[in-house]
Amino acid sequence: MDILHSIFVAPFIEMGAYPDFFLQVVWEGFVAGVLYSLIALGFVLIYKASGVFNFAQGIMVVFAALALVSLHGMGVPAWLAVILALGIMGLLAVGVERLVLRKLVNQHDAILLMATIGLTLVLKGLGQLLFGGEPKPMITEELGLPTGSTDWEVFGGIVIFQHIDIAATVVALLMVLALALFFSKTRIGRALRAVADDHQAALSVGISLHQIWAIVWFAAGIVALVTGIMWGARSEVSFALEIIALKALAVLILGGFTSIPGAIVGGLIIGIGEKLFEVYWGALFGSGVEAWFAYVLALIFLLFRPQGLFGERIIERV
């Protein structure tokens, strides 16, 4: 009975008793969720356009952020460093398309996944070789990102909003809007959607697959850089981020591999869910449940809805 009480009753009483603390936890989870969504967004972009499940998205985030910080460390002004880092991601996109994707066209999903695992190793080694393996602080102020915090008095307590968290949310929102506009209004965006729908049909109306793949990897690179900046500003830029980025995979399961709204909603569910679980139920299991909560939630979810929240229905034909 005791255990049932501590699972089903006590946490909710605690939530009700200290609503300000509850709000704080939800906000923290929300911001973490925004960042998970951003990583998942990179996955979805690439998966939709090329059918590649890009395991390297996490390391791309680290790589882009490290490139930015290291360039700035070499004395390059911040704005130029951002442009150069974007250039590096662009080169990477073209390189991946030329050297990997083009040669692996029409291969099985699993083969492509493994190729991106190989790419992960290359980027990891390259990043450590070029930029060093030690954690670096993000150049928050040089990029004009706000620091400091605002207190909001509510329910007889205060909720603290870090400005960088607010900025991260706004930037993420802007980026999703920009991507949505890009996909629906521009010529390239429409070509991207055509490729995502049907490779062969897209080819037959004269869309270059190679070009589209390079562009979409570049777009994922931009998303990676933004994610890296935001995440780096909240903690620091290090290779540990790569493991955390794997949580985006759980987000994808919730949202479905092909849905951008799914990636966002899934990210928020995972972010808020794991923070609440850690804070209110974590003590029951011993702390550190954040490490697996996302995956187990995704696994349970999958048993009921294999295609994710917004994913396309999986239809199998024989």
CA torsion angle for 230, 76, 125, 132 (degrees, to 10)? -90
- What backbone torsions phi and psi does residue 10 show, to the nearest 5 degrees? -55, -45
Whose Cβ is closer to other proteins: residue 99's or residue 177's?
99
Whose Cβ is closer to other proteins: residue 32's or residue 222's?
32
Q: Which stretch binds other proteins (CB under 8 A): 63-71, 85-93, 214-222, 279-287?
A: 279-287
CA torsion angle for 224, 239, 67, 219 (degrees, to 10)? -10
Place of tokens 């949505």: 180
Whose Cβ is closer to other proteins: residue 183's or residue 277's?
277
Quote the Cα angle for 187-213-98, to 5°.
135
- Of 73, 95, 125, 137, the one binding other proteins (CB under 8 A) is 125
Is 151 among the residues that bind other proteins (CB under 8 A)? no
- Min dist CB 152 to other proteins, Å, is 34
Whose Cβ is closer to other proteins: residue 216's or residue 254's?
254
What is the Cα–Cα distance from 220 to 213, expressed in whole angstroms? 10
Count of CB atoms within 10 A of residue 182's CB? 14
Quote the Cα angle for 86-91-92, to 5°.
95
Q: Which stretch binds other proteins (CB under 8 A): 1-9, 125-133, 198-206, 271-279?
A: 125-133
Whose Cβ is closer to other proteins: residue 214's or residue 233's?
214
Q: How far is CA 156 from CA 21, 152, 163, 265, 286, in A?
A: 11, 10, 22, 31, 30
Site string for other proteins, 248-267 (x = CB under 8 A): -xx-xx---x----------
Is 187 among the residues that bind other proteins (CB under 8 A)? no
- Of 110, 144, 185, 205, the one binding other proteins (CB under 8 A) is 110
Residues 6+ apart with CB under 8 A from 95: none
- Of 7, 122, 174, 177, the one binding other proteins (CB under 8 A) is 122
Site string for other proteins, 2-41 (x = CB under 8 A): ----------------------------------------
What is the Cα–Cα distance from 296 to 301, expressed in whole angstroms? 8
- What backbone torsions phi and psi does residue 159 show, to the nearest 5 degrees? -115, 130
Whose Cβ is closer to other proteins: residue 99's or residue 160's?
99
What is the Cα–Cα distance from 167 to 177, expressed in whole angstroms? 15
Whose Cβ is closer to other proteins: residue 201's or residue 299's?
299
- Of 243, 283, 284, 312, the one binding other proteins (CB under 8 A) is 243
Tell me the site size for other proteins, rule CB under 8 A. 48
Among residues 172, 130, 142, the alpha carbon closest in space to that of 80 is found at 142
Q: By the 8 A CB rule, do 179 and 260 touch? A: yes
- Min dist CB 59 to other proteins, Å, is 10
Site residues for other proteins per CB under 8 A: 53, 99-100, 103-104, 107, 109-111, 113-115, 117-126, 128-129, 133, 243, 246, 249-250, 252-253, 257, 285-289, 291-292, 295-296, 298-299, 302-303, 306, 316, 318
